[in-house]
Structure 1
Amino acid sequence: MNFKKLMTTLLSIGFVLPVFSQSKLASKVDSLVGAYTNIQEFNGSVLVAVKGKILLAKGYGYSDQASKTLNTDSTIFSIASVTKTFTSAMILKLVEEKKLSLDDKIIRFYPGYQYGSRISIANLLNHTSGINDRNIEEKREKYDRTVLTREQLLLAELNGTELSSEPGITFNYSNRGYYLLGNIISKLTNMTYEQAIRKYIFTPYMLKNTGFDFGSLRKNDKAKGYWAETGKNYSKETPIMDSAGTYSAGAIYSNVFDLYKWHEILQNCNFISKESLERAYKPYTKTYGYGWIIDSLQGKRRVSHSGAVWGFRSNFSRIPDEDVAVILLSNYEVPGLDMIAKGIISILYGQPYYLPIKKKAIHLEPIKLVKYVGTYEILESHLVLEVKLESGKLVVYPKNGNSSVPLPESENRFFGETEESLELIFGKKSNKDIITIIMGETKREAIKRN
């Protein structure tokens, strides 16, 4: 092979060969995932593929703790909100078939919905409908679920709650918006949502380990889900959620191989056109498109979606411009799968990445902690953090987020109880108290308010 042909070949297979062989890349990825497994921050299956070649497909930890059954590359998990990538693709397929327009108002399908004339299909897809799930959850006890159908209940919930913002303006993640999309798919195809997804996607593309009703699935490869009562002790088995509850926003189960098939189906424009995919991959507000989160890693456009349901977590990351797929499915309620996905992508591009090492917490008396109590703000994002002292421990309360208990590694350095890559370093800068917040390779500063 002459030099010109050799360079053409190397460039055509991408960024990996100039620095590492594929076997070395796979070894690095395996070591990274293994490190997270060793500190109880991953337990599940991983698949990594580049330009049509699978670099790594492997299971880590137990799929069933009681029987000591190990996770494999074929283990089946609930994928939760990764379901939205299927729902959005089905909607775009119906648009291509001229059965629907993204500009259609949902009053076409829900004439009894008071805000139906203001919300479009596009608003539902990109979570700008103004539907506020949190407000609806606060009032859910007022509805008699024993006499209402799922659709009747949804409409009652929606009509009983005002919009939180004008449609098309503000991002507000809404599962109920995707429930509406599932119902619209059902109305346009004259079959249930589940039947439509099977007919259009699962069956013709032979996704044999993908389906609905995870609770009734009878396969030896099915994982059991686990949660931790405290810290990272993921030993409590969770009951399987009824798929009717998560529906078109989160009811699908799958394994890493079938999700890789789904990546290839989209990559090759087999199900919907490149034009439709580009619509889906365009961020409309913040970083959300039509069923996909869009951001940039290593200077490349990443499209991804994560998922969380009781006992399971998922992360489906793709770099479509370079045919890269990173799939993580876990049967532990671990919080940091996206951190692992970012680390894997950094490995693929020969960039620095965070490799976790088991940390050890020390004991600090409350008198040494009280000086850190206060209100802090990350100025660039306007995120406000309340740091409190409760039962002799610091507790951090982000505004509109879940609280966390950082564990002391030294007198001023703390790490996350369930996610050790999160570090908080208390100090001073320009005579102001600050917290330096480190998440892997990312660093932010929060300044204490006076």
Structure 2
Amino acid sequence: MKNISAFVAVVLCAITTVTSAQTNPDEKAKRLDSLYSGLHAANSFNGNVLIAEKGKVIFEKSYGLANEKTGAKLNANTIFELASVSKQFTAMAIVLLKKQGKLSYEDDMTKYVPELADYKGITIWNLLTHTGGLPDYIDITDTNWDKNKIATNIDILNLFKALKPKKVFEPNEKREYSNTGYLILGTIIERVSGQSFGGFLEQYIFKPLEMKRSLVYRSRYQPQKIENYALAYGYSDSLKRKITPDEDGRNRFIYLDGIVGDGMVNSTAKDLLKWDRALYTGKLVNEEDKKMIFSSYPTNDNKGTNYGFWLVYQRE
């Protein structure tokens, strides 16, 4: 199934291939609309676009449908699942817990996740910077999980405890993107704070930043009614039409729907702009914190992480 899921795009700098500093705002908007309209017409893009320069919105528009069955159109307030963009919020939650004095980056993860005692030596810092070396849980569940059941974080931890899959590499040896690491961070957030993952983000990130249409949502594990929500679609070659993951039977988006930390944050383009701008202020963290968040770190292979706590990020 080819993925053509509904998509929310927040571009927070000028797109030099389409616009330039010398171009007037109206001309920029026309060029950008031409770009995304062309992509949408070619069935290569369906979603919301918000483009800002130094915090000022220069272009915002919706393209396509939120729901193919009902014909509901996307609009500026449509909520999208963010997939791995969620990791930004997971990392920030860990930073905030550290600032609250509830954990240390140097803590061994097994202090909070004793189920993984066989992997002692991996720190919270390793998990944040993708240098822990744990195998990807998605690959493991593909062959070791009943696809008729929705897995949760504790299910994955118990699966690792039972199967004891080998580490891909030793901690700090190198950087390799890790969904498993961020699942564990999501678990640590819940155990240290005594709150649900979504509850912690709501109290300490979404509410302070007035991200009023942002939430942690697991549509199959804990369904609820959410107005103006964009469904994800893929194109089925056999059916010759767009279908949702639920129509795909054994799609991993169904049986991994109970997991938080590496995904499951949902938001809008407008809320994501609020989030971006907060990273330039002292609303959540101070300058020392931000330096740590956005830095690259050395690894034993001498290549370094070239990566911050959650993503490569170019600051203005």
- 2: CA distance, partners of 1:245 / 1:156: 15
**Deviation sequence 1:66-107 (CA, Å, 0-9, x none):** 222221121111111111000001111122222222121112
Of 282, 297, 313, which residue of structure 1 is paired with 2:295? Answer: 282
Higher relative contact order (CA 8 A, sep 6+): 2
- Determine if the alignment matches structure 1 residue 178 to structure 2 residue 182: yes
Q: How far is the alpha carbon of 1:155 from its aligned partner?
A: 3.7
Q: Which runs of 5+ in 2 are unaligned?
A: 1-15, 247-252, 298-303
* Matched-pair identity in %: 26
Q: How far is the alpha carbon of 1:145 from its aligned partner?
A: 6.6
* 2:109 corresponds to: 106
Amino acid in structure 1 at the alignment position of 2:44: E
| Structure 1 or 2: more helix by fraction | 2
* 1:320 corresponds to: 315
Of 28, 41, 46, which residue of structure 2 is paired with 1:43? Answer: 46
Of 128, 131, 135, which residue of structure 2 is paired with 1:132? Answer: 135
Of 239, 264, 275, which residue of structure 2 is paired with 1:262? Answer: 275
Q: How far is the alpha carbon of 1:238 from its aligned partner?
A: 3.1
Of 48, 61, 85, which residue of structure 2 is paired with 1:82? Answer: 85
Of 250, 260, 263, which residue of structure 1 is paired with 2:263? Answer: 250
Amino acid in structure 2 at the alignment position of 1:249: D
- 1: CA distance, partners of 2:201 / 2:21: 41
Q: How far is the alpha carbon of 1:127 from its aligned partner?
A: 1.5
- 2: CA distance, partners of 1:208 / 1:63: 19
After TM superposition, the score normalised by the length of structure 2 is 0.80
Amino acid in structure 2 at the alignment position of 1:282: S
* 2:13 corresponds to: none
Closer, same or farther in 2 for the Cα pair 1:260/1:195, shift >3 Å? Answer: same
Q: How many corresponding residue pairs? A: 282
- Determine if the alignment matches structure 1 residue 154 to structure 2 residue 163: no
Structure 1 segments of 4 or more deviating over 3 A?
15-18, 141-146, 240-244, 284-287
- 1: CA distance, partners of 2:44 / 2:161: 37
Of 199, 203, 214, which residue of structure 1 is paired with 2:207? Answer: 203
Amino acid in structure 2 at the alignment position of 1:176: T
SS at match of 1:30: helix
* 2:23 corresponds to: 20
SS at match of 2:231: coil
Partners of 2:130 and 2:181 within 8 A in 1: yes
**Deviation sequence 1:396-416 (CA, Å, 0-9, x none):** xxxxxxxxxxxxxxxxxxxxx
* 1:189 corresponds to: 193
* 2:6 corresponds to: none
- 2: CA distance, partners of 1:118 / 1:24: 55
SS at match of 2:289: helix
Closer, same or farther in 2 for the Cα pair 1:143/1:121, shift >3 Å? Answer: farther
* 1:226 corresponds to: 233
Larger-Rg structure: 1
Amino acid in structure 1 at the alignment position of 2:127: L
Q: Which runs of 5+ in 1 are unaligned?
A: 1-14, 295-302, 304-318, 322-450
After TM superposition, the score normalised by the length of structure 1 is 0.57
SS at match of 1:257: helix
| Structure 1 or 2: more strand by fraction | 1
* 1:445 corresponds to: none
Q: How far is the alpha carbon of 1:154 from its aligned partner?
A: 1.2
Closer, same or farther in 2 for the Cα pair 1:118/1:70, shift >3 Å? Answer: same
Amino acid in structure 1 at the alignment position of 2:279: L
Amino acid in structure 2 at the alignment position of 1:40: N
Of 61, 68, 93, which residue of structure 2 is paired with 1:65? Answer: 68
**Deviation sequence 1:152-185 (CA, Å, 0-9, x none):** 5414325521111001122232222111111111
SS at match of 2:114: coil
